[in-house]
Structure 1
Amino acid sequence: MSSPASTSLHNSGVEQPAGYPFSAIVGQDKLRLALVLCAVHTGIGGVLVRGEKGTAKSTVVRALAALLPPVDDENGSRPARLVELPVGATEDRVIGSIDLEKILRDGERAFQPGLLASAHRGVLYVDEVNLLHDHLVDLLLDAAAMGRVHVERDGVSHSHAARFVLVGTMNPEEGELRPQLLDRFGLAVDVTASRDVDVRMEVVRRRLDYERDSASFAAGYAAEDAEVAAGIAAARERLDGVVLPETELRRIAALCAAFDVDGMRGDLVVARTATAHAALRGATEVTEDDVRVAAELALPHRRRRDPFDAPGLDDGELDEKMEQAAAQADPPADESDPGPDDDPDDDPDDDPDGGQTPPSDPGEPTPPDDSADSPPAPSPGNSSSTPGREFGARLLQVPGVGDGAPGRRSRSRGASGRVVRSTAFSGNGIHLVGTLLAAAEKHAERGGSRVRIDGRDLRGVVREGREGNLVVFLVDASGSMAARDRLSAVTGAVVSLLRDAYQRRDKVAVVTMRGSDADVVLPPTSSIDIAVRRLDDLKTGGRTPLAQGFLRTRELVLRERARDPQRRALVVVLTDGRATGGTDPVGRAKIAASRLVAESVASVVVDCESGMIRLGLAKDMATALRAAYVSLPELSSSQVAGVVRAAA
């Protein structure tokens, strides 16, 4: 087997810096183990690495590729590949497509493989996987789980093997994966930088040594890396012979049931991971220790049914669940062979539902209950900043068709979605009918008995799908809103809208107005759970500076528009409309609103006024903003159908 250092030479003969050795990485033991286990058993389904920036996520993944056994193909033996998939990759680039050049040149229908084919028997690495299009994440996870890629498109039917170690890395501060995508990664590891001074010193020392002389540094760890590589190769050979006893299988099932894991994917992944761990340590049979290691890697992220659930798994809780599972792992002898007179009700396995409630679809907003037609009444003990009851919020959209980031809120044109018409060809799919019509128009001047197509006839497609937006919540936190804990209902509505924003892949920002000014309490971010935490600390009281709120929101939108011009903004104003403070507060608020309108920013005003006597001031503000108007009860109503479309 070639050493890690030797695999860093390109075919050109020009020596490149040796890759950072896998064994030289300080700490991150759990991450290294997860990667090695996936290398032993590719059916585990890959590893999701979640962590703050600067925690060596990419370094560990790249180092793993040098340890994989060499691959034998038609050209002989070669090192396993590390294939990096860019966030902006198209579906054709990922799974492959028809070979246009061969069709036009030779008239033969041929398939051009994509990145998944290149990654076969290697590592497929996706940095910032949380920013990848959802449909591409689905493709990757399907291929990782099945070990094959099936392509049925453009008149081509093709299938090829694609067994690889899938590794996705992400920074949670830049937004989370949706729960149903999170669940489909086999293992998940949260990494953080150590707070131990000695460990941090050693990390820096080794990195500086590597930068000073990468070849010598890699050579110093070549023996350790070779030992890890040999262990992976031996475990692969041993894997099929590892036995999963009935006792440990029952322990796995009981453990997943104790953690209330939805579906059966978690059970399968724990079983495969435990088997790989047994093979890695040279055993021929899975034990309780293997199951515990597997559960620690495979179950924490499967507990996140909601974007606001805390990630991770406490060791004490895992120990407790392992003890509960142990009680069921070894059934009494009289239950292991039930007789005809045994009471079937005594057998918990007879419950067809397994004691679990069927999960709701996490891709849709939480359905409201029967009491969702009115804002929730806060409990007497709540502070004004404590979020009230959540509900299934109505969909708020930006009007028109944008060209923004992929998402699920407003209409947009992009690389995915339904085909609406043809356009000039740009490499993003072919409009077959448009291409044939263009060639037919030139048939007479070209002559011949058949219509011939050349490159000038190609027509591209215009697709219409959905985009994610920048949703700015402008929250009135004044004294009038805090009265009678009304803000509790408002923050509950904001949390409901934040949940909807998470599901639709928006960026969100929160601006609050109180006293004499407005503050940006949350700059634009894709991390919705941070927004919820900021709401918990929301300060209230004072006057209502609506004018300052509109002006501060305008500044935020313009600043973000300069950074991300394709992401359209939607401003959601939650207020009772009572502008107070200074001279002519209502007039100044309407002038500020007109400046926001001048920037063509779509807005929705949610009227939070309550009580027997209502002044209707929020509706006046909606008119000034040229915004859609909806009352808080209507926002949460299950009876109101349709879509709120903000005015242009």
Structure 2
Amino acid sequence: MRSYPFSAVVGMDDMALALSLCAVSPAIGGVLVRGEKGTAKSTTVRALTALLPPVEVVPGCRFSCDPGTVDPQCPDGPHPGAPPSSTRPARLVELPVGASEDRVLGALHLERALSEGVTSYDPGLLAAAHRGLLYVDEVNLLHDHLVDVLLDAAAMGRATVEREGVSVTHAARFVLVGTMNPEEGELRPQLLDRFGLTVEVAASRDPQVRAEVMRRRLAYEADPEGFAARYAEADAALGARVAQARALLPTVRLDDDMLVRIAALCAAAEVDGMRADLVIARTALAHAAWCGRTGVSAGDVRVAARLALPHRRRRNPFDPPQQDQADLDRALTEAGLDEPPPPADEPEPPSDGPPDGPPDDPDDGPDGPTDGGGPGGSGPDQPDDGRPYRQRPAAEQNGEPATAPPPATPVPAGAPYRARLLRVTGTGAGTAGRRSAALTTTGRTVGEERPTAGVTGRPHLVATLRAAAPHQRARGRRGPGLLVRPADVRLPVRQGRESNLILFCLDASGSMGARQRVGAVKAAVLSLLLDAYQRRDKVGLVTFRAAGAELALPPTASVDVAAARLEALPTGGRTPLAEGLLRAREVLRVERIRDPRRRPLLVVVTDGRATSGPDAVPRARHVARLLAADGTPAVVVDCEQGRIRMRLAADLAAVLGGEHLPLEGVAADALAHAVRTRTATRPGSEAA
């Protein structure tokens, strides 16, 4: 089936331009396309190969050596002198999210190495992508060990395979193209920085544009060949433009004045390192060649900055990797690259405010006039707001509402800090990560096993030799080498770390409503979220307040979204603890079906009070016992404060069979201080 024509894609001008510039100059470093689902990201990337010029290669070389500059370390070499050349189309190699490391890097034939004493190497996806495109759909879901492989190859331009003392290296220079939906989580900063350009795509809200998209897609599905033929001329023209721009690129000039402006732009934008400067320079050169010019102008630099700077402004893991347009305009102005002023006869753009009438009331916020109040206000639905009974209005003491309760307003979180490590006990077998102990594909070798049907991997050399050695005489071995049979192969059993599902069950009732207290609680949860981000966990958020509980965030890898939901979370009302635990139990039940290998950790953040009815406490204990019977690992973060404490959260932790952790104990520094204090005061120590 013919791929969708590149020129037939509607309304994705920035993505088309970024991909075209990378086709002109692969040194730019690739493109990251971020956007919501269903916006033709993958369709556009796959259509790009039709525009790429053919590639000259050494005939028979599996690593696509360039006849003009032969790689002296090519595993298929040597290619002495001036080898003959042949032409093949440019490749688009797709890297599946679930690919194994051997599939990406390539693998050695262990059986031939042992029996014949030769190094036989099967190239992987990186070798196939050399001098072409490497495309990763849903790149934000790529496993960490594959991200490390990509980082090494992108940095060095080579792929190296180390297997049982045998080393193979080959060139691996490619244009890295990734697509992702930000709702499913963000990229590691190291990999994000490796993409030269980034574009944000979104579906148009114009009905005419959307209708045209449907019209073209339906026509393509009805007759792919005929539809592609209608756009063949336009695609051919784009391909010719790419080829002409590539030929023109070596002659394009970037003078010293423009280099200084680019450096000033990146300094004003406060980006880290020098990669942004180089990417902008290379992109500006490619854009000038794309436009058929031999000199780089300020307009070329502006286009390059718009594509190269936004994703390099991330300051912490919860900041979105994008740059505010006002900040970009300010940096362009400081570097002398601002937009030219509008013509004198062009009318000024209308202001955002109303043309006539009185100015806006300064007391009116985005939600209307503010009349005081705060989290955990008073009223019949919020009796548990922490105020003493005698300090409440007389009407409220008599059971009557004094005034309408003010709307619950979110309290900002305090500054996050380094949280202590919370782990699931035992040894799991989930997805490789950085939290709990598990049997994974990476880590230290702790044993061996026979491969089961459909299971592949890197063999355990010593165990394989030990299994084959007793049978050599029976197999008739004569001379050097070792006769190895498939039944001899053993795979290593490795113990590493896994990622977990961290489900937060957060008390947002009125008893948590004091501003300083809620800020501290949110800071603790935010710190645990930061820890989950760094350890590649999935997170979910259940909140309970007033009349019930809700799933504020379904389990997801997007910790950034969880932090945003936490920041906007209001407080107030009664404390339906049982409903919160019950909602958490249902979420965990569904997740066990969806992802049975990923072990959960329930983190209940509460002061332990249950005030949603006369039987609130017995119901909460009953649900806690159900969670304990399910075998759910749990940690209760105790938010109770003051000199006199009821220790209800500690009782809840005991019923859950989990760990009780005071709010102040969430910080790793507090844990270290406690350990040092106990060590110093232990009998027999120097301090004692």
Distance in 2 (alpha carbons) for counterparts of 1:643 and 1:139: 40
Contact 2:31–2:177 (CA under 8 A) maintained in structure 1: yes
Correspondence for 2:91 among 77, 81, 85: 81
Contact 1:45–1:145 (CA under 8 A) maintained in structure 2: no
Q: 3-state SS of the aligned residue for 1:54?
A: coil
Which residue in the other structure is 2:372 paired with?
none
Contact 1:143–1:149 (CA under 8 A) maintained in structure 2: yes
Which residue in the other structure is 1:29 paired with?
13
Q: Note if 1:68 corresponds to 2:52.
A: yes
Contact 1:45–1:141 (CA under 8 A) maintained in structure 2: no
Which residue in the other structure is 1:634 paired with?
665
Q: 3-state SS of the aligned residue for 2:93?
A: strand
Distance in 2 (alpha carbons) for counterparts of 1:484 and 1:52: 36
Q: Note if 1:57 corresponds to 2:41.
A: yes
Residue 580 of structure 1, CA deviation:
2.5
Q: 3-state SS of the aligned residue for 2:205?
A: coil
Residue 192 of structure 1, CA deviation:
0.4
Distance in 2 (alpha carbons) for counterparts of 1:542 and 1:441: 74
Correspondence for 1:528 among 559, 567, 572: 559
Correspondence for 1:435 among 464, 467, 475: 464
Which residue in the other structure is 2:445 paired with?
419
Q: Note if 1:569 corresponds to 2:626.
A: no
Residue 94 of structure 1, CA deviation:
0.5
Q: 3-state SS of the aligned residue for 2:38?
A: coil
Per-residue CA deviations over 1:386-439 (Å, capped at 9, x if unaligned) read 322322211111112212123222222222223222211342111111111112
Correspondence for 1:308 among 304, 308, 318: 318
Correspondence for 1:241 among 236, 240, 251: 251
- Summarize the alignment of residues 386-401 of structure 1 with structure 2, pairs less than 5 Å apart: 386-401=412-427
Per-residue CA deviations over 1:342-387 (Å, capped at 9, x if unaligned) read xxxxxxxxxxxxxxxxxxxxxxxxxxxxxxxxxxxxxxxx955332
Distance in 1 (alpha carbons) for counterparts of 2:256 and 2:152: 29
Residue 81 of structure 1, CA deviation:
1.6
Which residue in the other structure is 1:510 paired with?
541
Q: Percent identity?
A: 59
Per-residue CA deviations over 1:482-501 (Å, capped at 9, x if unaligned) read 14542221112111211221
Contact 1:547–1:588 (CA under 8 A) maintained in structure 2: yes
Correspondence for 1:108 among 109, 118, 121: 118
Q: Note if 1:548 corresponds to 2:532.
A: no
Residue 182 of structure 1, CA deviation:
1.2
Q: Note if 1:594 corresponds to 2:625.
A: yes
Distance in 2 (alpha carbons) for counterparts of 1:39 and 1:499: 37
Q: Relative to structure 1, is the Cα distance of residues 129 and 220 closer, same or farther in structure 2, using a 3 angstrom cutoff?
A: same
Residue 145 of structure 1, CA deviation:
4.5
Residue 52 of structure 1, CA deviation:
0.5
Q: Which runs of 4+ in 1 moved over 6 A?
A: none
Q: 3-state SS of the aligned residue for 2:513?
A: helix
Which residue in the other structure is 2:523 paired with?
492
Whichever residue aligns with residue 69 of structure 1, its letter is P
Q: Note if 1:539 corresponds to 2:570.
A: yes
TM-score (norm. length: structure 1): 0.84
Whichever residue aligns with residue 131 of structure 2, its letter is R
Contact 2:409–2:570 (CA under 8 A) maintained in structure 1: no
Q: Relative to structure 1, is the Cα distance of residues 447 and 213 closer, same or farther in structure 2, using a 3 angstrom cutoff?
A: closer
Contact 1:383–1:488 (CA under 8 A) maintained in structure 2: no
Whichever residue aligns with residue 491 of structure 1, its letter is K
Residue 102 of structure 1, CA deviation:
4.1
The more displaced of 275-284 and 437-446 is 437-446
Q: 3-state SS of the aligned residue for 2:335?
A: helix
The more displaced of 232-241 and 633-642 is 633-642
Per-residue CA deviations over 1:21-55 (Å, capped at 9, x if unaligned) read 11111111111111111112212211111110110
Q: Relative to structure 1, is the Cα distance of residues 65 and 40 closer, same or farther in structure 2, using a 3 angstrom cutoff?
A: same
Q: Note if 1:477 corresponds to 2:508.
A: yes
Distance in 2 (alpha carbons) for counterparts of 1:251 and 1:135: 39
Identify unmatched segments of 5+ residues in structure 1. 1-16, 329-381
Identify unmatched segments of 5+ residues in structure 2. 61-85, 339-407, 676-688
Contact 2:432–2:441 (CA under 8 A) maintained in structure 1: no
Residue 156 of structure 1, CA deviation:
2.5
Correspondence for 2:190 among 180, 184, 197: 180
Correspondence for 1:136 among 127, 142, 146: 146
Count of residues in correspondence between the two structures:
575
Distance in 2 (alpha carbons) for counterparts of 1:104 and 1:233: 48
Contact 2:664–2:670 (CA under 8 A) maintained in structure 1: no
Which residue in the other structure is 1:297 paired with?
307
Which residue in the other structure is 1:281 paired with?
291
Q: Relative to structure 1, is the Cα distance of residues 196 and 642 closer, same or farther in structure 2, using a 3 angstrom cutoff?
A: farther
Q: 3-state SS of the aligned residue for 2:635?
A: strand
Distance in 2 (alpha carbons) for counterparts of 1:639 and 1:139: 37
Answer with 1 or 2: which has the greater Rg.
Answer: 2
Q: Relative to structure 1, is the Cα distance of residues 318 and 539 closer, same or farther in structure 2, using a 3 angstrom cutoff?
A: closer
Contact 2:269–2:328 (CA under 8 A) maintained in structure 1: no
Whichever residue aligns with residue 440 of structure 1, its letter is A
Contact 2:23–2:52 (CA under 8 A) maintained in structure 1: yes
Distance in 2 (alpha carbons) for counterparts of 1:195 and 1:626: 52
Whichever residue aligns with residue 120 of structure 2, its letter is A
Contact 2:298–2:337 (CA under 8 A) maintained in structure 1: no
Per-residue CA deviations over 1:563-596 (Å, capped at 9, x if unaligned) read 1111111011111112223334333322211110
The more displaced of 544-553 and 383-392 is 383-392
The more displaced of 81-90 and 494-503 is 494-503
Q: 3-state SS of the aligned residue for 1:305?
A: coil
Correspondence for 1:165 among 175, 181, 186: 175
Distance in 1 (alpha carbons) for counterparts of 2:42 and 2:674: 42
Whichever residue aligns with residue 47 of structure 1, its letter is V
Whichever residue aligns with residue 428 of structure 1, its letter is G
Whichever residue aligns with residue 404 of structure 1, its letter is G
The more displaced of 310-319 and 489-498 is 310-319
Q: Note if 1:616 corresponds to 2:626.
A: no
- Summarize the alignment of residues 271-420 of structure 1 with structure 2, pairs less than 5 Å apart: 271-326=281-336, 385-420=411-446
Q: Relative to structure 1, is the Cα distance of residues 285 and 150 closer, same or farther in structure 2, using a 3 angstrom cutoff?
A: farther
Distance in 2 (alpha carbons) for counterparts of 1:146 and 1:125: 19
Contact 1:384–1:486 (CA under 8 A) maintained in structure 2: no
Distance in 2 (alpha carbons) for counterparts of 1:203 and 1:565: 39
Residue 607 of structure 1, CA deviation:
0.8
Contact 2:424–2:436 (CA under 8 A) maintained in structure 1: yes
Q: 3-state SS of the aligned residue for 1:62?
A: helix
Residue 447 of structure 1, CA deviation:
5.5
The more displaced of 48-57 and 317-326 is 317-326
Contact 1:408–1:504 (CA under 8 A) maintained in structure 2: yes
Distance in 2 (alpha carbons) for counterparts of 1:573 and 1:92: 41
Distance in 1 (alpha carbons) for counterparts of 2:295 and 2:159: 32
Distance in 1 (alpha carbons) for counterparts of 2:306 and 2:645: 55
Distance in 2 (alpha carbons) for counterparts of 1:253 and 1:142: 27
Q: Relative to structure 1, is the Cα distance of residues 594 and 499 closer, same or farther in structure 2, using a 3 angstrom cutoff?
A: same
Contact 1:42–1:144 (CA under 8 A) maintained in structure 2: no
Distance in 2 (alpha carbons) for counterparts of 1:289 and 1:141: 32
Which residue in the other structure is 1:225 paired with?
235
